[in-house]
Amino acid sequence: MNSPPPSRGRPRDPRSHEAIIGATARLLVEVGYAATSIGAVAARAGVGKDTIYRRWSGKPELVFEAVFTATDDAPPPDTGTLTGDLTELLRGLIDEFHAPAAAAALPGLLADFASDPELKARIRGDFLAPSKERLLVVFERAVQRGEIAAETPVDLVLDTLAGAVFFHVGLVGEHPDPQLAALLAAVVAKGIEVR
């Protein structure tokens, strides 16, 4: 994992960061993705636009972080089984995609990603890769317990899980059944278990 370059000037104020993230999520729900602007976020958060641009290169990165990284700081689950761990991971992902801010942001973000390959690469490198890296421990433990083989394509498994949630909750807009996380986890764990 790459560590960010050391920052220059004043250290970041975590209160400003939280104010910006919170303001972004609230504006998305209130006015939608298209009408959410860096200026509106800055005014709502009580910071200058420069403060936002020092942290995010533009609206898509800011929105993505505000909406789709809430579970990234949680420690990887350790329930004692791969199915249990995947269930916990999926519950967090389902909650993230089912949140009103996610529903408001998703169409606009998808359009921005489709039209800007550099943006897609930045999101993949800055947000998705570190998130996947953090979850490797779940699969390493499953290998140690003999549940899965060492050569299991973990990236593909994680993409499969995220894709199922994205399609079911984010794209189709289904209200997630309380058992969705457990069902998806069981299907995927069964599919990759050692036979």
**More confident of the two residues 8 and 113:** 113
Inform me whether the pLDDT recorded for 6 exceeds 80: no
* pLDDT tens for each residue of 106-159: 999 999 999 999 988 888 888 888 888 888 999 999 999 999 999 999 999 999
Helix residue ranges, H only, the chain = 14-31, 38-45, 49-55, 59-68, 82-98, 100-115, 117-123, 129-144, 154-165, 180-192
Residue 153, CA distances (Å) to 147, 150, 178, 191 in order: 14, 9, 28, 12
Mean pLDDT, to the nearest integer, of 43-58? 95
Question: What's the CA gap between 64 and 12, in Å, rounded?
Answer: 19
Task: Give the tens place of pLDDT for each residue, 18-32.
Answer: 999 999 999 999 999
Q: For the whole model, what pTM was predicted?
A: 0.82
**CA 133, CA 141: separation in Å to the nearest integer?**
14
pLDDT digits (tens, 9 = 90+) for 67-105: 988 777 778 999 999 999 999 999 999 998 899 999 999
Place of tokens 């910006």: 20
Residue 163 clears pLDDT 50, i.e. is over it? yes
When pLDDT is cut at 50, 70 and 90, the band that residue 184 belongs to is: very high
